[in-house]
Amino acid sequence: MIIGVPKEIKIHEYRIGMTPTSVRELTVRGHTVLIETDAGKAIGYTNERYTAAGAHIVSDVYQVFATAEMIVKVKELQPAERALLRQGQILFTYLHLAPDLPQTQDLLKSGAICIAYETVTDDKGGLPLLAPMSEVAGRMAIQAGATALEKSHGGAGVLLGGVPGVVPAKVVILGGGVVGSNAARIAIGMRADVTVLDKNTDTLRKLDSEFKGAAKLIYSTAETIEHAVLDADLVIGGILLPGAAAPKLITAAMIKQMKAGSAIVDVAIDQGGCAETSHATTHSSPTYIVDDVVHYCVANMPGAVARTATQALNNATLPFIIKLAEQGYAAALNNDKHLRKGLNVFKGQLTCAEVGQAHGLPTISAEQALSADRA
Protein backbone atom coordinates (compact mmCIF):
# COMPACT_ATOMS: atom_id res chain seq x y z
CA MET A 1 0.00 0.00 0.00
CA ILE A 2 1.06 3.60 -0.58
CA ILE A 3 0.78 5.56 2.66
CA GLY A 4 0.95 9.35 2.73
CA VAL A 5 1.92 11.52 5.70
CA PRO A 6 1.31 15.24 5.14
CA LYS A 7 2.64 18.07 7.27
CA GLU A 8 0.15 19.22 9.89
CA ILE A 9 -1.16 22.71 9.14
CA LYS A 10 -3.31 23.47 12.17
CA ILE A 11 -1.83 26.47 13.97
CA HIS A 12 1.14 25.54 16.19
CA GLU A 13 0.69 21.84 15.47
CA TYR A 14 4.10 20.19 15.25
CA ARG A 15 3.17 16.54 15.66
CA ILE A 16 3.39 14.19 12.69
CA GLY A 17 1.39 11.10 11.78
CA MET A 18 4.37 8.71 11.67
CA THR A 19 7.83 8.73 13.23
CA PRO A 20 10.85 7.43 11.30
CA THR A 21 10.68 4.29 13.44
CA SER A 22 7.08 3.68 12.38
CA VAL A 23 7.94 4.36 8.76
CA ARG A 24 10.63 1.70 8.85
CA GLU A 25 8.13 -0.86 10.16
CA LEU A 26 6.04 -0.25 7.03
CA THR A 27 8.83 -0.07 4.48
CA VAL A 28 10.49 -3.31 5.61
CA ARG A 29 7.12 -4.94 4.88
CA GLY A 30 7.23 -3.68 1.31
CA HIS A 31 4.90 -0.71 1.65
CA THR A 32 5.63 2.74 0.24
CA VAL A 33 5.54 5.73 2.60
CA LEU A 34 5.40 9.29 1.27
CA ILE A 35 6.42 12.05 3.68
CA GLU A 36 5.78 15.69 2.82
CA THR A 37 9.06 17.58 2.91
CA ASP A 38 10.02 18.93 6.35
CA ALA A 39 6.82 17.50 7.87
CA GLY A 40 8.68 16.41 11.01
CA LYS A 41 11.53 18.91 11.03
CA ALA A 42 10.15 20.97 13.93
CA ILE A 43 10.53 18.02 16.32
CA GLY A 44 13.83 16.74 15.02
CA TYR A 45 12.56 14.27 12.43
CA THR A 46 14.46 15.49 9.37
CA ASN A 47 13.97 14.47 5.77
CA GLU A 48 17.23 12.55 6.03
CA ARG A 49 15.94 10.47 8.95
CA TYR A 50 12.83 9.56 6.99
CA THR A 51 14.84 8.72 3.90
CA ALA A 52 17.07 6.46 6.00
CA ALA A 53 13.89 4.70 7.21
CA GLY A 54 12.90 4.02 3.61
CA ALA A 55 10.43 6.84 3.02
CA HIS A 56 10.11 8.92 -0.12
CA ILE A 57 10.17 12.68 0.48
CA VAL A 58 7.67 14.54 -1.72
CA SER A 59 7.66 18.26 -2.34
CA ASP A 60 4.10 19.22 -1.46
CA VAL A 61 0.82 18.12 0.10
CA TYR A 62 -0.87 17.80 -3.30
CA GLN A 63 1.45 14.99 -4.30
CA VAL A 64 0.85 13.22 -0.99
CA PHE A 65 -2.93 13.23 -1.39
CA ALA A 66 -2.86 12.54 -5.14
CA THR A 67 -0.68 9.44 -4.78
CA ALA A 68 -1.41 7.84 -1.39
CA GLU A 69 -4.01 5.13 -0.88
CA MET A 70 -4.09 5.90 2.86
CA ILE A 71 -3.50 9.24 4.59
CA VAL A 72 -2.14 9.06 8.14
CA LYS A 73 -2.32 12.27 10.18
CA VAL A 74 -2.69 13.57 13.70
CA LYS A 75 -5.31 16.31 13.59
CA GLU A 76 -8.54 16.54 11.62
CA LEU A 77 -8.29 17.68 8.03
CA GLN A 78 -8.43 21.43 7.60
CA PRO A 79 -10.72 22.80 4.83
CA ALA A 80 -7.89 23.04 2.28
CA GLU A 81 -6.89 19.43 2.97
CA ARG A 82 -10.45 18.14 2.79
CA ALA A 83 -10.65 19.41 -0.78
CA LEU A 84 -7.79 17.03 -1.67
CA LEU A 85 -9.38 13.87 -0.27
CA ARG A 86 -10.31 11.33 -2.94
CA GLN A 87 -13.14 8.84 -3.25
CA GLY A 88 -12.12 5.47 -1.80
CA GLN A 89 -9.04 6.92 -0.07
CA ILE A 90 -8.47 5.86 3.55
CA LEU A 91 -8.10 8.62 6.14
CA PHE A 92 -6.73 7.57 9.54
CA THR A 93 -6.49 10.41 12.07
CA TYR A 94 -8.32 12.19 14.87
CA LEU A 95 -11.62 13.51 13.50
CA HIS A 96 -13.77 14.82 16.42
CA LEU A 97 -16.79 15.19 14.14
CA ALA A 98 -19.52 15.72 16.75
CA PRO A 99 -18.87 19.46 17.20
CA ASP A 100 -17.82 20.01 13.56
CA LEU A 101 -20.63 19.91 11.01
CA PRO A 102 -18.63 21.44 8.10
CA GLN A 103 -15.93 18.78 8.41
CA THR A 104 -18.57 16.04 8.64
CA GLN A 105 -20.27 17.28 5.49
CA ASP A 106 -17.00 17.55 3.58
CA LEU A 107 -15.91 14.04 4.52
CA LEU A 108 -19.29 12.66 3.44
CA LYS A 109 -18.97 14.43 0.09
CA SER A 110 -15.45 13.11 -0.44
CA GLY A 111 -16.49 9.46 -0.65
CA ALA A 112 -13.46 8.54 1.46
CA ILE A 113 -13.16 5.91 4.20
CA CYS A 114 -12.57 7.91 7.37
CA ILE A 115 -11.41 6.13 10.53
CA ALA A 116 -11.19 8.19 13.72
CA TYR A 117 -8.50 7.46 16.28
CA GLU A 118 -10.78 8.63 19.08
CA THR A 119 -13.47 5.96 18.59
CA VAL A 120 -11.26 2.88 18.08
CA THR A 121 -11.80 0.59 21.08
CA ASP A 122 -10.04 -2.28 22.86
CA ASP A 123 -10.99 -5.47 24.72
CA LYS A 124 -11.28 -3.59 28.01
CA GLY A 125 -13.74 -1.03 26.68
CA GLY A 126 -11.04 1.62 26.49
CA LEU A 127 -10.01 4.00 23.72
CA PRO A 128 -6.40 3.00 23.03
CA LEU A 129 -5.65 5.63 20.39
CA LEU A 130 -7.13 8.46 22.44
CA ALA A 131 -5.55 7.40 25.72
CA PRO A 132 -1.96 8.52 24.96
CA MET A 133 -3.04 12.05 24.08
CA SER A 134 -5.46 12.12 27.01
CA GLU A 135 -2.55 11.22 29.28
CA VAL A 136 -0.51 14.07 27.84
CA ALA A 137 -3.42 16.55 27.95
CA GLY A 138 -4.33 15.60 31.52
CA ARG A 139 -0.79 16.23 32.73
CA MET A 140 -0.52 19.44 30.72
CA ALA A 141 -3.86 20.69 32.05
CA ILE A 142 -2.40 21.31 35.49
CA GLN A 143 0.60 23.17 34.03
CA ALA A 144 -1.75 25.31 31.94
CA GLY A 145 -4.07 25.90 34.87
CA ALA A 146 -1.25 26.86 37.20
CA THR A 147 -0.09 29.45 34.67
CA ALA A 148 -3.65 30.76 34.17
CA LEU A 149 -3.92 31.42 37.92
CA GLU A 150 -0.94 33.77 37.79
CA LYS A 151 -1.88 37.45 37.99
CA SER A 152 -0.03 38.30 34.78
CA HIS A 153 -2.31 35.88 32.90
CA GLY A 154 -5.56 37.21 34.33
CA GLY A 155 -5.78 34.90 37.33
CA ALA A 156 -6.15 35.71 41.00
CA GLY A 157 -2.43 35.33 41.70
CA VAL A 158 -2.69 31.95 43.42
CA LEU A 159 0.16 29.42 43.67
CA LEU A 160 -1.28 25.98 43.02
CA GLY A 161 0.47 24.22 45.89
CA GLY A 162 0.55 27.11 48.31
CA VAL A 163 3.48 27.41 50.75
CA PRO A 164 3.80 26.58 54.46
CA GLY A 165 1.30 28.76 56.28
CA VAL A 166 -0.79 29.45 53.13
CA VAL A 167 -3.58 27.17 51.88
CA PRO A 168 -3.11 25.60 48.43
CA ALA A 169 -5.41 26.19 45.49
CA LYS A 170 -8.58 24.14 45.19
CA VAL A 171 -8.47 22.06 42.01
CA VAL A 172 -11.71 20.46 40.83
CA ILE A 173 -11.48 17.80 38.12
CA LEU A 174 -14.63 16.80 36.26
CA GLY A 175 -14.21 13.20 35.14
CA GLY A 176 -11.96 10.53 36.60
CA GLY A 177 -10.95 8.86 33.34
CA VAL A 178 -7.60 9.07 31.59
CA VAL A 179 -7.53 12.89 31.46
CA GLY A 180 -8.86 13.36 34.97
CA SER A 181 -6.70 10.75 36.67
CA ASN A 182 -3.54 12.10 35.05
CA ALA A 183 -4.47 15.66 35.98
CA ALA A 184 -5.12 14.54 39.55
CA ARG A 185 -1.71 12.86 39.82
CA ILE A 186 0.08 16.04 38.80
CA ALA A 187 -2.09 18.29 40.98
CA ILE A 188 -1.56 16.04 44.00
CA GLY A 189 2.17 16.03 43.29
CA MET A 190 2.09 19.84 43.34
CA ARG A 191 0.30 19.68 46.73
CA ALA A 192 -2.94 21.25 45.57
CA ASP A 193 -6.27 20.59 47.29
CA VAL A 194 -7.76 18.14 44.76
CA THR A 195 -11.35 17.02 44.21
CA VAL A 196 -12.37 14.59 41.46
CA LEU A 197 -15.99 14.09 40.42
CA ASP A 198 -17.21 11.11 38.41
CA LYS A 199 -20.49 9.22 38.15
CA ASN A 200 -18.84 5.82 37.89
CA THR A 201 -18.40 4.46 41.40
CA ASP A 202 -15.89 1.88 40.22
CA THR A 203 -13.73 4.70 38.89
CA LEU A 204 -13.97 6.51 42.21
CA ARG A 205 -12.99 3.35 44.10
CA LYS A 206 -10.00 2.81 41.80
CA LEU A 207 -8.80 6.38 42.34
CA ASP A 208 -9.37 6.07 46.08
CA SER A 209 -7.13 3.01 46.14
CA GLU A 210 -4.42 4.85 44.22
CA PHE A 211 -4.56 8.23 45.94
CA LYS A 212 -5.07 6.93 49.49
CA GLY A 213 -6.89 10.01 50.74
CA ALA A 214 -4.78 12.57 48.86
CA ALA A 215 -7.84 13.64 46.84
CA LYS A 216 -11.54 14.01 47.60
CA LEU A 217 -13.57 11.67 45.39
CA ILE A 218 -17.19 12.68 44.91
CA TYR A 219 -20.09 11.18 42.98
CA SER A 220 -21.01 13.55 40.18
CA THR A 221 -24.47 15.14 40.16
CA ALA A 222 -25.70 18.57 39.10
CA GLU A 223 -25.61 19.67 42.73
CA THR A 224 -22.14 18.33 43.57
CA ILE A 225 -20.71 19.78 40.35
CA GLU A 226 -22.13 23.22 41.06
CA HIS A 227 -20.92 23.21 44.68
CA ALA A 228 -17.41 22.10 43.69
CA VAL A 229 -17.05 24.46 40.73
CA LEU A 230 -18.16 27.53 42.68
CA ASP A 231 -15.61 26.74 45.39
CA ALA A 232 -12.75 26.02 42.97
CA ASP A 233 -9.71 28.05 42.05
CA LEU A 234 -9.04 25.79 39.04
CA VAL A 235 -11.47 23.52 37.18
CA ILE A 236 -10.28 20.83 34.76
CA GLY A 237 -12.90 19.59 32.29
CA GLY A 238 -12.00 16.00 31.49
CA ILE A 239 -15.41 14.68 30.40
CA LEU A 240 -15.62 12.29 27.45
CA LEU A 241 -18.55 10.59 25.75
CA PRO A 242 -16.89 8.57 22.94
CA GLY A 243 -17.69 10.10 19.58
CA ALA A 244 -20.35 12.43 21.01
CA ALA A 245 -20.41 16.11 21.87
CA ALA A 246 -19.28 16.86 25.43
CA PRO A 247 -22.11 17.58 27.88
CA LYS A 248 -22.30 21.18 29.14
CA LEU A 249 -21.77 20.53 32.83
CA ILE A 250 -20.65 24.08 33.64
CA THR A 251 -23.35 26.60 32.80
CA ALA A 252 -22.88 30.27 31.99
CA ALA A 253 -24.74 31.06 35.21
CA MET A 254 -22.17 29.07 37.18
CA ILE A 255 -19.34 30.96 35.51
CA LYS A 256 -20.84 34.24 36.72
CA GLN A 257 -20.76 32.92 40.29
CA MET A 258 -17.22 31.52 40.24
CA LYS A 259 -14.40 33.27 42.11
CA ALA A 260 -12.89 36.24 40.28
CA GLY A 261 -9.52 35.16 38.91
CA SER A 262 -10.33 31.45 38.94
CA ALA A 263 -9.60 29.38 35.85
CA ILE A 264 -11.02 26.60 33.66
CA VAL A 265 -8.95 24.28 31.49
CA ASP A 266 -11.50 22.65 29.19
CA VAL A 267 -9.75 19.55 27.86
CA ALA A 268 -13.08 18.45 26.38
CA ILE A 269 -12.92 21.29 23.85
CA ASP A 270 -12.10 18.86 21.01
CA GLN A 271 -15.64 17.56 21.47
CA GLY A 272 -17.18 21.01 21.93
CA GLY A 273 -16.21 21.66 25.55
CA CYS A 274 -17.97 20.99 28.85
CA ALA A 275 -18.56 24.67 29.75
CA GLU A 276 -21.19 26.77 28.00
CA THR A 277 -18.70 29.62 27.79
CA SER A 278 -15.95 27.56 26.15
CA HIS A 279 -14.77 28.03 22.59
CA ALA A 280 -11.65 26.65 20.96
CA THR A 281 -8.40 28.60 21.27
CA THR A 282 -4.88 28.09 19.94
CA HIS A 283 -1.40 27.82 21.41
CA SER A 284 -0.65 31.33 20.13
CA SER A 285 -3.64 32.78 21.98
CA PRO A 286 -4.63 30.13 24.51
CA THR A 287 -6.84 32.00 26.97
CA TYR A 288 -9.68 34.47 27.21
CA ILE A 289 -11.71 35.78 30.13
CA VAL A 290 -15.45 35.55 30.71
CA ASP A 291 -16.94 37.07 33.88
CA ASP A 292 -13.46 37.30 35.46
CA VAL A 293 -12.83 33.56 34.88
CA VAL A 294 -9.80 32.63 32.76
CA HIS A 295 -10.65 30.03 30.10
CA TYR A 296 -7.91 27.84 28.56
CA CYS A 297 -9.47 25.94 25.65
CA VAL A 298 -6.67 24.91 23.30
CA ALA A 299 -8.02 22.23 20.98
CA ASN A 300 -4.67 20.51 20.37
CA MET A 301 -2.99 20.71 23.75
CA PRO A 302 -0.49 17.86 23.15
CA GLY A 303 0.85 19.77 20.16
CA ALA A 304 2.82 21.89 22.63
CA VAL A 305 4.90 18.84 23.56
CA ALA A 306 4.91 17.52 20.03
CA ARG A 307 7.86 15.15 20.18
CA THR A 308 6.66 13.29 23.28
CA ALA A 309 3.11 13.28 21.97
CA THR A 310 4.08 11.98 18.52
CA GLN A 311 6.05 9.10 19.98
CA ALA A 312 3.26 8.17 22.39
CA LEU A 313 0.62 8.33 19.66
CA ASN A 314 2.67 6.22 17.23
CA ASN A 315 3.13 3.52 19.83
CA ALA A 316 -0.65 3.12 19.80
CA THR A 317 -1.50 3.71 16.13
CA LEU A 318 1.25 1.67 14.46
CA PRO A 319 -0.37 -1.78 14.85
CA PHE A 320 -3.56 -0.49 13.22
CA ILE A 321 -1.65 1.26 10.42
CA ILE A 322 0.15 -2.01 9.69
CA LYS A 323 -3.13 -3.93 9.75
CA LEU A 324 -4.79 -1.54 7.28
CA ALA A 325 -1.75 -1.61 5.00
CA GLU A 326 -1.34 -5.41 5.08
CA GLN A 327 -5.00 -6.38 4.81
CA GLY A 328 -6.66 -3.43 3.08
CA TYR A 329 -9.56 -1.53 4.61
CA ALA A 330 -12.24 -4.16 3.91
CA ALA A 331 -10.52 -7.12 5.57
CA ALA A 332 -9.04 -5.02 8.37
CA LEU A 333 -12.40 -3.49 9.31
CA ASN A 334 -14.34 -6.74 8.93
CA ASN A 335 -11.82 -8.76 10.94
CA ASP A 336 -11.24 -6.30 13.79
CA LYS A 337 -14.32 -5.12 15.67
CA HIS A 338 -12.27 -2.57 17.59
CA LEU A 339 -10.88 -0.91 14.47
CA ARG A 340 -14.38 -1.07 12.99
CA LYS A 341 -15.60 1.08 15.89
CA GLY A 342 -13.32 3.78 14.52
CA LEU A 343 -15.14 3.95 11.19
CA ASN A 344 -17.02 7.27 11.20
CA VAL A 345 -17.58 7.91 7.49
CA PHE A 346 -17.69 5.30 4.72
CA LYS A 347 -18.00 6.28 1.06
CA GLY A 348 -20.60 9.00 1.60
CA GLN A 349 -22.40 7.43 4.55
CA LEU A 350 -22.14 8.37 8.22
CA THR A 351 -21.37 5.32 10.35
CA CYS A 352 -21.06 6.88 13.83
CA ALA A 353 -24.41 7.16 15.60
CA GLU A 354 -23.15 9.76 18.08
CA VAL A 355 -22.06 12.09 15.29
CA GLY A 356 -25.37 11.60 13.53
CA GLN A 357 -27.23 12.46 16.72
CA ALA A 358 -25.11 15.59 17.23
CA HIS A 359 -25.88 16.90 13.72
CA GLY A 360 -29.30 15.41 13.04
CA LEU A 361 -27.92 13.33 10.17
CA PRO A 362 -28.92 9.79 9.17
CA THR A 363 -26.49 6.98 9.98
CA ILE A 364 -26.03 3.33 9.22
CA SER A 365 -23.90 0.86 11.15
CA ALA A 366 -20.36 0.13 10.07
CA GLU A 367 -21.42 -3.49 9.56
CA GLN A 368 -24.21 -2.44 7.19
CA ALA A 369 -21.88 -0.19 5.21
CA LEU A 370 -19.21 -2.86 4.84
CA SER A 371 -21.77 -5.50 3.90
CA ALA A 372 -23.22 -3.29 1.18
CA ASP A 373 -19.68 -2.58 -0.06
CA ARG A 374 -19.01 -6.30 -0.46
CA ALA A 375 -22.23 -6.74 -2.40
For residue 251, the 8-state DSSP code is -
Distance CA 247, CA 261 (A): 24
Would you call 283 helix, strand, or coil by DSSP? Answer: coil
Choosing from 31, 266, 270, 295, which is the catalytic residue? Answer: 270
Please tell me the number of Cα atoms within 13 Å of 116 on its side-chain side: 27
Q: Is 270 among the catalytic positions?
A: yes
Choosing from 31, 96, 153, 295, which is the catalytic residue? Answer: 96
Q: Is 338 among the catalytic positions?
A: no
302 conformational bin, left if phi > 0, alpha if psi -120 to 50, beta if neither: alpha
**How many other C-beta atoms lie within 10 A of the C-beta of residue 284?**
8
- 11-41 burial, b if ≥16 CB within 10 A, otherwise e? ebbbbbbbbbebbbbbbeeebbbbbbeebbe
Cβ neighbourhood burial of 162 (10 Å; 0-12, 13-18, 19+): middle
- Residue 71's identity, in one-letter code, is I
Q: Cβ(226)–Cβ(198) under 8 Å?
A: no
Query: What DSSP string runs through 28-70?
Result: TTT-EEEEETTTTGGGT--HHHHHHTT-EEESSHHHHHHH-SE
Which residues are part of the catalytic machinery?
96, 270
